[in-house]
Amino acid sequence: MPEIRVKIASSVGLHARPASMFVKAAAKHPGTVAIGRPGTELVDARSMLSVLSLAIGHGEEVILRTDGEGADGALTELSELLVRDLDA
């Protein structure tokens, strides 16, 4: 199960529009996609409510974990999304 740590680049963190863009991208992948803060339980990255409930702010580090078919490609695509300012 590949995982990576990334810092959230969006100026508003993973709230509203950036979270929506991330969740839609995560939902395209057939396997499991999870996100969360280091040291905490990860949540389903395809659930808007779960992602918003994390209240992740700009510059915070998160763990992104994928599993299943295309896991490595999903991890790359989604991590590249998080390191961009999606609210710009």
Active site residues: 15
In the sheet with 32-36, reading across from the earlier edge strand, the strands are: 3-7, 61-67, 32-36, 43-44
Helix axes 71-82, 16-27, angle to 10 degrees: 170
CB 56 within 8 A of CB 8: yes
